[in-house]
Amino acid sequence: MCVFDLIAELGVMFGKQTFSQHLYSIFMCYLTNTAASVRQIGIDKSEMLAREFQQEWIVNDYIH
């Protein structure tokens, strides 16, 4: 498991508030990384986080 995988897993363990405050900016680096495989991990983990944190987080935190 790579470091990028762990950031999303930590987000789920610590909850959406901690993730949004401390890990979100690191996580968003997935989606702008030059390596396609890293961007794909970000996409996959975004889906996992969306399921875990629900619609309110997606609309209020993830999109903004």
Kindly report, residue by residue over 21-60, the tens digit of the pLDDT.
999 888 888 888 899 988 898 888 888 888 898 877 778 7
For 32, the token pair is 């702008």
Q: Give yes or no for a contact between 30 and 45, defined as CB atoms under 8 angstroms apart.
A: yes
Distance, in Å, from the CA atom of 9 to the CA atom of 58, rounded to the nearest integer, reads 17
Predicted TM-score (pTM) of the model is 0.75
Smallest CA-to-CA distance from 27 within 54, 45, 50 is with 45
Q: How far apart are CA 32 and CA 54, in angstroms?
A: 23
Please state the three-class secondary structure of 37-51 as a single string.
HHHHHHHHHHHHHHH
